[in-house]
């Protein structure tokens, strides 16, 4: 399992939101690239980077910061937020981004979704609220069930699925193990677990579930999980 350390970017800063609420923001760093350098020095290897401003505007905002981060990160790095065109996918691919997270447009535009088969590094963002897929920064419900979406994702060759529990995101209440088990049972795709990780025991339990990766965000920034102990469960 990969331990993906999360970094959300907003206004050029490292932040965390509660349940995706842009009004419930905590700032953790004024200099995201420097924080990444520090984390890598302490042993972090793989990263999950989200351009929150991009998610709101529908196009990338923090491309230059992400480029600087990629120059530091030597392990797996995935990026999401505002990725809704082929040009943006190509831009991030050219930066050497390993996983490109596509959510809103892929879930709302079937023709665009089918066209993603041209790219080998697409991570499908499946954000769930009460088990139902959401889009547009978690504001709009998607009129398709997860099983149907996952079946189509397998068919077109999506690389992995990022499963986020909206209710638990940034809440430190533990991952939705029941929901993750259900999603894993619906697909052969690698599953990335996101939302709720609060302590090292959560990381252990996700590793035992054999998810492909676990995202560690607020629990790291608040000091509840250290990099070294998290990497103890990483491969």
Is 201 one of the catalytic residues?
Answer: no
Distances (CA, A) of 121 to 80, 100, 170, 172: 12, 6, 26, 29
Find the catalytic residue in 127, 169, 176, 202: 127
C-alpha distances in Å from residue 50, one per residue of 18, 139, 143, 169 = 14, 17, 25, 13
- Is-contact 167 106, C-beta < 8 A? no
H-state helical runs in 74-137: 86-94, 104-108, 110-115
User: What is the rounded CA–CA span in Å between residue 161 and residue 36?
Assistant: 24
User: Is 127 designated active site?
Assistant: yes
Active site residues: 8, 127
């Amino acid at each position: 399992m990969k331990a993906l350390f999360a970094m959300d970017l907003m206004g050029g800063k490292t932040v965390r939101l509660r349940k995706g609420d842009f009004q419930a923001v905590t700032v953790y760093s004024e200099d995201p690239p420097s924080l990444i350098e520090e984390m890598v020095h302490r042993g972090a290897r793989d990263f999950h980077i989200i351009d929150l401003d991009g998610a709101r505007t529908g196009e990338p905002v923090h491309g230059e910061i992400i480029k600087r981060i990629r120059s530091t990160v030597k392990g797996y790095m995935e990026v999401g937020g505002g990725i809704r065109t082929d040009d943006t996918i190509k831009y991030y691919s050219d930066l050497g981004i390993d996983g490109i997270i596509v959510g809103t447009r892929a879930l709302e535009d079937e023709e665009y979704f089918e066209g993603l088969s041209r790219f080998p590094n697409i991570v499908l963002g499946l954000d769930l609220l009460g088990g139902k897929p959401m889009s547009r920064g978690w504001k709009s419900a998607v009129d398709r069930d997860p099983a149907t979406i996952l079946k189509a994702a397998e068919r077109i060759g999506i690389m992995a699925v990022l499963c986020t529990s909206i209710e638990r995101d940034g809440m430190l209440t533990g991952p939705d193990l029941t929901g993750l088990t259900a999603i894993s049972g619906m697909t052969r795709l690698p599953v990335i677990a996101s939302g709720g990780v609060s302590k090292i025991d959560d990381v252990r339990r996700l590793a035992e579930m054999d998810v492909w990766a676990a995202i560690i965000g607020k629990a790291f920034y608040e000091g509840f999980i250290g990099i070294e102990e998290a990497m103890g469960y990483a491969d």
